[in-house]
Structures are given as structure tokens and as C-alpha cells.
């Protein structure tokens, strides 16, 4: 577990009074931190509309969730669950994505033209 708030892409942190799990997308040293909220898995088929990367207990969370990235579609505005925050918004370090999960997330971000 990192000491202080040393941030690396793919780390999972609790934020905003430790109510919301986030995955860090930006590197340490940035004034504003870009991250993605962990949300509940879709209950409907989202194939072609979004990509979900499952995360949960192995990444330090108490239950399963997903990182959801909306894919571009004509006439639609995508919601990506991206947030910008400061170090003060971060609470406790929870864990980190495996290299495979981080690669899946980066692939989804490229598909959505967010990378």
C-alpha cells in the first residue's frame, strides 16, 4: 500500500469521504487528477454502446463493480463516469488494477477516443 498519496495510473482509491471508489487515470504530479468512478454492472446488454471492465475484490473493493466506457454514437452524448478531483478528495488507497485489467481499460478508452 502506498504511503502518502503517491498516485499511479490504475490505482484504486476511495474518494469524497470514502464513499466512491475511483480508478486513477492520470499520473502523479498533476494538479488536477483524472479518475473514473466504479459503477454497478449494467443489467442490460450494452454491447456496441459501452465497454465494461469488471473490478472488485481482487482490486481492493468490498463488492464487484465495473469501469464503464461509453462508445461514440452519432446523435448521442456519452457519459463516461470520468471525474476530475484534487488530492484532498482522495481518501484511502484500496488497491490497483492488474496489468491485464489496466490494458482492458486503456483499450476501452482508446475505442471511446478518450485516450
Q: Sign of dihedral through CA atoms 89, 90, 92, 95? A: positive
Residue reference for cell 466512491: 20
Position 6 in a domain: no
What the block records as the C-alpha cell of 49 is: 454502446
Position 31 in a domain: yes
Cβ–Cβ under 8 Å, residues 51 and 58: no
Position 2 in a domain: no
Which CATH number fits the domain that encloses residue 86? 2.30.30.110
Position 50 in a domain: yes
How far, in Å, are 38, 61, 68 from residue 64 at the CA level? 9, 7, 13
Host domain of residue 101: 11-111
Position 1 in a domain: no
Cβ–Cβ under 8 Å, residues 105 and 73: no
Position 4 in a domain: no
What the block records as the C-alpha cell of 25 is: 487515470
Residue-wise pLDDT tens for the chain (115 aa)? 455 667 899 999 999 888 899 999 987 667 789 999 999 888 888 888 889 999 999 999 999 999 999 888 777 776 668 889 988 899 999 999 999 999 999 999 998 877 6
Tens of pLDDT, residues 24-50: 998 766 778 999 999 988 888 888 888
Burial class (CB in 10 A: 0-12, 13-18, 19+), 5: middle
Position 66 in a domain: yes
Position 19 in a domain: yes
Burial class (CB in 10 A: 0-12, 13-18, 19+), 56: middle
How many domains does the chain contain in total? 1
What the block records as the C-alpha cell of 29 is: 504530479
Q: Residue 106 and residue 100: Cα distance in Å, rounded? A: 10
pTM: 0.85
Cβ–Cβ under 8 Å, residues 51 and 68: yes
Amino acid at each position: 500500500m502506498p504511503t502518502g498519496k503517491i498516485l499511479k495510473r490504475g490505482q484504486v482509491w476511495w474518494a469524497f469521504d470514502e464513499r466512491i471508489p475511483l480508478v486513477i487515470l492520470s499520473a502523479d504530479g498533476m494538479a488536477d487528477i483524472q479518475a473514473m468512478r466504479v459503477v454497478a454492472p449494467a443489467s442490460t446488454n450494452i454491447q456496441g454502446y459501452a465497454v465494461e471492465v469488471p473490478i472488485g475484490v481482487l482490486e481492493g473493493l468490498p463488492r464487484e463493480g465495473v469501469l464503464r466506457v461509453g462508445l461514440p454514437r452519432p446523435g448521442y452524448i456519452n457519459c463516461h463516469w470520468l471525474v476530475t478531483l484534487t488530492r484532498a478528495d482522495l481518501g484511502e488507497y484500496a488497491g490497483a488494477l492488474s496489468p491485464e485489467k489496466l490494458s482492458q481499460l486503456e483499450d476501452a478508452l482508446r475505442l471511446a477516443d478518450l485516450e
